[in-house]
Structure 1
């Protein structure tokens, strides 16, 4: 996942609204969102190479999502897959705060990452780059491949768009958020971050929706969580088609 926009305790019905793009190499084998065969309480996509995930929810109302921290100088060949962090957060049987507190002890086992985890009433953020666990307060947030709310152009544009869209009628919200996530306008050169990659690559990575020959936005997801329900919409992009799917979960304690 390379862009997560979310509104927490801002909307009158949905305590958490998430609009996110997953950017990945096109050849990496991936399964779209589904209830996992090895844990039917989890609804998430799956990276079929490492068997982790970038974002998901559970029937108990838990949410978790991750972005990579872009640092081309970081050597990550012998480190563990970041996708297992999301899977572990979703499967953790205790309070999610306890899981998040444990991350600092293993922060060097993974390449740089940002992890969001929680539910409609308690949401936490941790990055092994800042090594600081934060319980989030109500607001509109953006997370790309740096730290939370780093003012990259795509984050600023996304947050502004999300803030506007969540004021609309609920019947239009999902499609409007998908349209926002499909914005492929690059940022002006003078606003590009300097993350250690080439200028050409910074330009390619700067839109909300990324397009290139071998890497880009492969799916967009909109999640809305209220006190007792999760609405999960996914839009998958392939070379020749677009596929939409939707799930509705009644939150249960079982």
Structure 2
């Protein structure tokens, strides 16, 4: 994911709400949101190149999302896939399944939010390994540090806050917000590091570009009873909608 707003225990009905866009090269193949045959009980899109995912849920009771972290140079080939970290966390098995013990230094720079029914956590590996618990509230994440005030991140947080204050009904308003293409007017300039060559210095939430742009918008909502919905809206290289998938799931307990 390249821009995300995340609400943790910020509404009496909703335990967790996440809304984000995955920005990626259009040439990089991916499978749409689905229930995976293996690992089972995992619901996510799948990156065909690395085999992992960028955002998803497990019916075992877990949520995870990862963003690349810019400003530390170009990614080093041969390092562990950040998508594999998300997949192992959601599956509850594999080399990186334990967030307290996983060697995060093996990955290129990343930010990650991992949540279950009881707590939400933030993990990163630059400039050093960081594992911290998130207090109830609304957070924003792009390709900088957690809550770094990139204009599009601030704008998406505001959209999520408006959704919560306005009744927090269904995901459609959040999906529409994720499609916003105008430059955010939040009074803060941002600079994108040189290792993000396809992204302009100030970009909208939705990036329409024939080479590198928004590939999908995803909304996840889990209520206090553990009932959840995940919705993915997909786009082609012209930025046009080419598909949408919505799946319900349940967390026990």
**TM-score higher than 0.5:** yes
Q: Give the structure 1 partner of residue 101 of structure 2.
A: 102
Residues 206-232 of structure 1: CA distance to partner in whole angstroms, max 9, x if unpaired?
A: 211111121110111111012321111
Residues 6-51 of structure 1: CA distance to partner in whole angstroms, max 9, x if unpaired?
A: 1110111111011011111101110011111112210010001110
Q: Return the offset for 1:70.
A: 1.4
Q: Give the structure 2 partner of residue 122 of structure 1.
A: 119
Distance of 2:85 and 2:190 partners within structure 1: 29
**SS at structure 2 position matched to 1:191:** coil
Residues 44-100 of structure 1: CA distance to partner in whole angstroms, max 9, x if unpaired?
A: 100011100001101122101100001362341121211101001111259x9x822
Native 8 Å contact 1:229 1:251 kept in 2: yes
Q: Give the structure 2 partner of residue 56 of structure 1.
A: 56
How does 1:1-254 map onto structure 2 within 5 Å?
Answer: 1-71=1-71, 73-92=73-92, 99-103=98-102, 106-129=103-126, 130-171=128-169, 173-186=170-183, 191-196=189-194, 201-203=199-201, 206-226=203-223, 227-238=225-236, 239=238, 241-252=241-252
Q: Return closer, same or farther for 1:252/1:187 CA change in 2, 3 Å cut-off.
A: closer
Q: Which moved more, 1:177-186 or 1:67-76?
A: 67-76
Distance of 1:197 and 1:101 partners within structure 2: 29
Q: RMSD over aligned Cα, in angstroms?
A: 2.4
Q: Return the offset for 1:108.
A: 2.6
Distance of 1:168 and 1:49 partners within structure 2: 40
TM-score normalised by structure 1 residue count? 0.89
Native 8 Å contact 1:44 1:53 kept in 2: yes
Distance of 2:147 and 2:209 partners within structure 1: 25
Distance of 2:6 and 2:35 partners within structure 1: 23
Query: Mind listing any 5+ residue stretches in structure 1 that lack a counterpart?
Result: none
Native 8 Å contact 1:72 1:196 kept in 2: no
Q: Return the offset for 1:199.
A: 8.8
Query: Mind listing any 5+ residue stretches in structure 2 that lack a counterpart?
Result: none
Distance of 1:15 and 1:190 partners within structure 2: 30
**SS at structure 1 position matched to 2:208:** coil
Native 8 Å contact 1:192 1:202 kept in 2: no
